[in-house]
């Protein structure tokens, strides 16, 4: 499994604003805070109190107060009065940790050694809050300008630890003032980080800091002595000191309270890679998935990030419940870090999860992030085919949309999707399966949503829209669903066809019997007008501008216009001229084309209609090129003619007629009297090159195209039918507020609950389909009640082929272990042994003969 980068991964996505938040106000607040304009700050907040909680994505997804506490983003000049206004607006929430770093505001002021900001904040904190601990990771510190490069991730850092280890020292007087302020307010100098370094150890190395400390003295409270076992680096120390004896101790924190702590004991040992210590405290009852607000990363994820494989295997071997978001977290890490080590653990976790029952796996594949992306979104975008198939086998949905409307189905590789489709079809081993009779189960859970307010055939729309996935429309899984869906909605199609047929018959009858009675409009022509007008009005109301995208609808509009002209001729004598007969002729031809288009919905006519359409299009593609020599000969005929008074277009017409095969023997004699010899030569050349050669070339191309179209006709039919089905579904679900469409939506649904079909065939004549509601339905011998019968020959043929392939594959797997196959193998071995003995005997006799 080697993931590859994807162009679909977003580089910058802004967190959506609250509905009450105006973007102009957000920008204004940022600028006035930056400028310390107190009056305008109060004015903006008074207009919208929630604006101080808006998170600026470009500023590490922080609110305005947290941004002002840092010196980045141009906020180094923010005054304490500005911070006080923002703290008043936030109330008790001002001291909440930051979204990404999980640091308190005080720690940011210590990192930047900004005394003015520190004074504004520390005055509102109690002794526990000023001693709050944070996790200092390399990733966090790389974002800021620190005095030294971080080499090891450390936990249990209070504000003094942050100041002395990473604080800016460019203005040393400012640095010392911050140190003095923290010590005066009781920040502990004895708080050791996870590497056993305390502020006091740094103070003793700096004479000026030591003087300040001796002058001020210490007002800090005692540190959490109960967590001293967190600094032990081996199981031997733990056992020797016997500091972890109870479950409470095993679940210990590095702070006195959870909201002031940076890690649990288990998180710390997973980070340090102490396998034996992890196993020891798990045996003592440590919660394997416990996290805290400042460190929301589960212990097993920490072990994965630090590449401690033995600890990860320890968690898996103990079958501890894994965090629901573990797969999602790992895939997101693949987009941010070196994917090499991470992908190893993704595969390990997936193999472990296979042991669980399928209903329990839903929690792992349905979790979403802040963009509503599931693990499958990331697996598909990263290009991990084997993991993608594993997630799909767990029940991950291919049609879940993220905040930006992206679904995994649109980005998945065609070969992976086809393999998944194959995996969704399984033989029912409890039923008889042979060449003509088969019993299969088809699982649609990853393709069809369970939500009744969403279209069932949504996946069909994506298959037809993505050209690289079009060929999968004729996969047995899709064909079966499409046949069932068509069975549900075909009554609507047939009703529409009946109405159109009535209109067509009325137009034919009018032309045959009533065309000359034009003084008053006949009822025969008013009937098709009413029907066509009703159909058009309904469809325009439903589809609006999309109505004009269909050829059938354009034909309907053309017919309505023509019929209006005929009706108007009955009232206005000025319209009763030869144009009326032309209008009727055009209407009859157009209506014939319309009825021809409607007939394609019948399977018997589908291929014939498609063949006619495709060959017509191909013919015009060819004739557009070969028109040049035809026009050249028409020009030659015109120039050789004695009578130049005739129109050039008459010669074009005559040339086209002769090209079609209606040649005239006396054409040169009549037309080319001045140059009879040359005229006859040109005419013969025309007959050979155009009438014989070019005409036959076009016929040959048409025949070859016909063969190709016949091969593609079934695919084109199913593709067009898929588009039609999704179009009808779209109407039903977008207009479902109306009772008529609600009934139609309910009637058109294929599945009720399970989204698994049982498919059977008897004697190879038709297919019987039933939805399997429960596992009990699957195990029992179904008696045929509730079946739907499909007579689609293509569905039957493809399912028979699938069943046959599965049967042959299973036989290949089973054969090596049957008694018959073992007997055959032993027979072959015996024959080889006898042959070897004969050869050895022959060799011995040859050797004796040689010696003699």
Pairwise CA distance, residues 583 & 413, whole Å: 52
487 pLDDT above the threshold of 90 = no
| 703 and 615 fall within a common domain | yes
- Whole-model pTM: value is 0.73
The reply to whether 493 and 589 lie within a common domain is yes
Contact 532, 556 (CB under 8 A): yes
Predicted confidence at residue 266, as pLDDT, reads 92
Residues 797 and 852 grouped into a single domain: no
How far apart are the C-alpha atoms of 607 and 794, rounded to whole Å? Answer: 13
Judgement on whether residues 577 and 612 belong to the same structural domain of the protein: no
pLDDT at 111 > cutoff 80: yes
Integer angstrom CA distances of residue 270 from 170, 232, 299: 36, 13, 6
Q: Which of 403-412, 552-561, 611-620 has the lowest mean pLDDT?
A: 611-620
H or E, element range at 179: helix 172-184
Whether residues 567 and 657 share a domain: the answer is: no
List CB contacts of 598: < 8 A, sequence separation 6 or more. Answer: 496, 497, 500, 501, 552
Contacts of 337 by beta carbon, 8 Å cutoff, 6+ apart:
none
Residue, of 10 and 397, whose pLDDT is higher? 397
Which phi and psi angles does 789 have, rounded to 5°?
-100, 130
Question: Rounded to an integer, what distance in angstroms lies between the CA atom of residue 137 and that of residue 152?
Answer: 7
Backbone phi, then psi, for 271, in 5-degree steps?
A: -65, -35
Do 561 and 515 have their domain in common? yes
Residue 92 has pLDDT above 60, yes or no: yes
Using CA atoms, how far apart are residues 627 and 631, in angstroms rounded to an integer? 6
Q: Can you tell me whether residue 371 is helix, strand or coil?
A: coil
β-strand partners of 441: 426, 758
What is the residue-averaged pLDDT of the chain?
79
Q: Is residue 800 very low, low, confident or very high in pLDDT (cuts 50, 70, 90)?
A: confident
Q: Is residue 763 part of a domain?
A: yes
- Least Cα distance to 208 among 168, 189, 171, 180 occurs for 180
Domain-embedded: residue 620: yes
Residue 48 lies in a domain: no
Residues 620 and 714 in one domain: yes
State mean pLDDT over 668-682.
71
Is the pLDDT at 54 greater than 80, yes or no?
Answer: yes
Q: What is the pLDDT of residue 514?
A: 61
Mark whether 516 and 569 lie in a shared domain: yes
- Tell me the pLDDT tens digit for each residue of 241-260: 556 778 888 888 888 888 89
8 Å CB contact between 764 and 800: yes
Q: Measure Cα distances from 805 to 715, 757, 795 in Å.
A: 22, 19, 15
Q: Is residue 527 part of a domain?
A: yes
- Looking at the structure, do residues 800 and 841 belong to the same domain, yes or no? no
pLDDT score, position 652: 79
pLDDT tens digits for range 141-151: 888 877 666 56
Residue 424 is assigned to a structural domain of this protein: yes
Number of domains the chain contains: 4
The pLDDT value given to residue 81:
93
What confidence category does residue 570 fall into, taking pLDDT thresholds of 50, 70 and 90? low
Give the residue-averaged pLDDT of 370-385. 89
Contact 365, 327 (CB under 8 A): yes
> Over pLDDT 90: what percentage of the chain?
19
pLDDT beyond 90 at 182: yes
The pLDDT of residue 18 is above 50: no
Instruction: In whole angstroms, give the CA distance from residue 203 to residue 213.
Output: 8
Nearest to 299 by CA among 330, 271, 327, 324: 271
> Is the pLDDT score of 97 beyond 80?
yes
Classify burial at 259, counting beta carbons within 10 Å of its beta carbon; exposed 0-12, middle 13-18, buried 19 or more.
middle
761 and 828 share one domain: no
The answer to whether residue 613 sits within a structural domain is yes
Q: Give yes or no: residues 723 and 777 share one domain.
A: no
Q: Read out DSSP for 694-760? A: IHHHHHHHHHHHHHHHHHHHHHHHHHHHHHHHHHHHHHHHHTTTSHHHHHHHHHH---SSS-EEEEE
For range 164-188, the mean pLDDT: 90
Residue 706 pLDDT? 65
Q: What is the pLDDT of residue 827?
A: 67
Judged by DSSP in three states, 662 sits in coil
Say which DSSP state 511 is in.
I
d(CA 552, CA 595): 9
pLDDT of residue 512: 72
Residue 122 lies in a domain: no
Q: What is the pLDDT of residues 586-597, one digit of tens each?
A: 888 888 888 887
User: 240 pLDDT band (50/70/90 cuts)?
Assistant: very low
Mapped onto helix, strand or coil, the DSSP state of residue 602 is coil
Place of tokens 């009549």: 670
296-335 pLDDT tens trace? 999 999 999 888 999 999 999 998 889 888 999 888 888 7
What would the mean pLDDT of 560-564 be, rounded to a whole number? 84
Same domain assignment for residues 611 and 703? yes
Q: What confidence tens digit (pLDDT) does each residue in 461-478 have? A: 899 888 899 888 888 898
Q: Could you list the residue range(s) of the whole structural domain that residue 828 is in?
A: 819-852
pLDDT above 80 (res 640): no
The stretch 84-110 carries a mean pLDDT of 92
- With a cut of 70, say whether residue 554 has pLDDT above it: yes
Poorest-pLDDT segment among 152-166, 316-330, 511-525, 835-849 = 835-849
- Residue with more model confidence, 615 or 126: 126
Question: Is 651 within a domain?
Answer: yes
The token pair that represents 767 in the structure block: 């297919």
577 or 211, greater pLDDT: 211
pLDDT, greater one: 52 or 619: 52
Summarize the confidence of residues 221-238 as an average pLDDT.
Answer: 52
């Amino acid at each position: 499994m080697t993931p590859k980068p994807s162009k679909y991964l977003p580089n910058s996505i802004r967190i959506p604003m609250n509905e009450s938040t105006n973007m102009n106000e957000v920008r204004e607040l940022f600028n006035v805070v930056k400028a310390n304009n107190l009056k305008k700050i109060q004015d903006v907040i008074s207009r919208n109190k929630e604006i101080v909680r808006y998170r600026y994505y470009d500023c590490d997804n922080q609110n305005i107060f947290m941004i002002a506490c840092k010196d980045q983003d141009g906020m180094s000049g923010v005054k304490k009065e500005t911070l006080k206004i923002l703290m008043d607006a936030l109330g008790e929430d001002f001291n909440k940790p930051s979204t990404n770093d999980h640091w308190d505001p005080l720690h940011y002021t210590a990192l930047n050694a900004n005394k003015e900001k520190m004074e504004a904040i520390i005055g509102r904190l109690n002794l526990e809050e000023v001693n709050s601990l944070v996790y200092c990771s390399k990733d966090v510190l790389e974002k800021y300008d620190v005095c030294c490069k971080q080499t090891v991730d450390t936990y249990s850092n209070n504000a003094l630890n942050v100041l002395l280890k990473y604080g800016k020292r460019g203005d040393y007087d400012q640095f010392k003032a911050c140190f003095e302020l923290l010590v005066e307010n009781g920040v502990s100098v004895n708080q050791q980080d996870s590497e056993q370094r305390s502020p006091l150890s740094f103070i003793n190395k700096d004479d000026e800091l030591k003087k300040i400390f001796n002058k001020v003295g210490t007002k800090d409270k005692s540190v959490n002595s109960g967590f001293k076992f967190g600094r032990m680096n081996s199981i031997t120390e733990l056992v020797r000191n016997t500091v972890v004896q109870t479950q409470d101790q095993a679940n210990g924190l590095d702070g006195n309270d959870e909201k002031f702590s940076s890690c649990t004991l288990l998180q710390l040992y997973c980070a340090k890679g102490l396998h034996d210590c992890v196993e020891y405290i798990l045996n003592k009852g440590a919660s394997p998935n416990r996290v805290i607000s400042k460190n929301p990363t589960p212990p097993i994820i920490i072990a994965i990030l630090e590449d401690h494989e033995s600890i990860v295997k320890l968690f898996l071997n103990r079958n501890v419940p894994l965090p629901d978001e573990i797969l999602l977290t790992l895939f997101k890490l693949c987009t941010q870090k070196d994917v090499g080590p991470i992908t190893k653990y993704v595969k390990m976790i997936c193999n472990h999860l296979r042991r669980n029952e399928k209903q329990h796996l839903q929690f792992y594949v349905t979790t979403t992030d802040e963009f509503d992306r599931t693990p499958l979104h990331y697996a598909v975008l990263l290009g991990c085919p084997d993991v993608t198939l594993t997630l799909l086998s767990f029940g991950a949905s291919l049609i879940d949309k993220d905040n930006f409307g992206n679904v995994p189905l649109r980005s998945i590789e065609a070969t992976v999707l086809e393999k998944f489709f194959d995996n969704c079809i399984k033989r029912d081993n409890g039923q008889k399966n042979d060449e003509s009779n088969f019993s299969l189960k088809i699982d649609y859970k990853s393709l069809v949503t369970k939500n009744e307010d969403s279209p069932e055939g949504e996946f069909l729309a994506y298959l037809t829209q993505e050209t690289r996935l079009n060929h999968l429309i004729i996969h047995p899984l899709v064909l079966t669903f499409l046949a069932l869906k068509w069975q549900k909605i075909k009554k609507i199609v047939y009703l529409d066809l009946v109405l159109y047929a009535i209109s067509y018959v009325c137009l034919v009858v009018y032309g045959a019997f009533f065309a000359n009675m034009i003084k008053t409009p006949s009822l025969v022509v008013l009937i098709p007008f009413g029907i066509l007008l009703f159909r058009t009005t309904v469809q325009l109301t439903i589809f609006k501008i999309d109505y004009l995208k269909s050829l059938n609808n354009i034909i309907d509009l053309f017919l309505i216009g023509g019929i209006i002209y005929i009706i108007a001729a009955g009232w206005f004598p000025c319209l009763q001229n030869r144009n009326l007969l032309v209008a009727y002729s055009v209407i009859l031809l157009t209506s014939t084309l319309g009825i021809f288009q409607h007939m394609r919905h019948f399977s018997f006519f589908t291929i014939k209609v498609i063949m006619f359409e495709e060959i017509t299009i191909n013919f015009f593609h060819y004739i557009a090129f070969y028109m040049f020599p035809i026009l050249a000969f028409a020009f030659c005929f015109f120039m050789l003619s004695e009578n130049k008074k005739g129109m050039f277009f008459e010669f074009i017409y005559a040339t086209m007629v002769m090209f079609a095969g209606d040649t005239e023997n006396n054409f040169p004699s009549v037309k080319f009297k001045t140059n009879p010899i040359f005229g006859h030569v040109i005419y013969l050349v025309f007959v050979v090159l155009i009438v014989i050669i070019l005409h036959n070339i076009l016929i040959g191309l048409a025949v070859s195209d016909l063969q190709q179209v016949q091969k593609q006709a079934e695919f084109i039919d199913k593709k067009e039918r898929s588009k039609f089905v999704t179009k009808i579904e779209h109407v039903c679900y977008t207009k479902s507020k109306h009772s008529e469409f609600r009934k139609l939506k309910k009637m058109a649904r294929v599945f009720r609950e399970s989204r698994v079909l049982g498919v059977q065939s008897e004697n190879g004549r038709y297919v019987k389909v039933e939805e399997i509601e429960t596992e009990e339905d699957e195990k029992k011998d179904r008696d045929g009640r509730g079946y739907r019968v499909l007579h689609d020959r293509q569905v039957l043929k493809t399912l028979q082929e699938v069943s046959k392939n599965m049967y042959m594959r299973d036989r290949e797997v089973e054969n090596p272990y049957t008694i018959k196959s073992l007997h055959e193998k032993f027979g072959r071995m015996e024959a080889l042994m006898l042959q070897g003995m004969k050869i050895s005997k022959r060799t011995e006799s040859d050797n004796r003969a040689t010696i003699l």
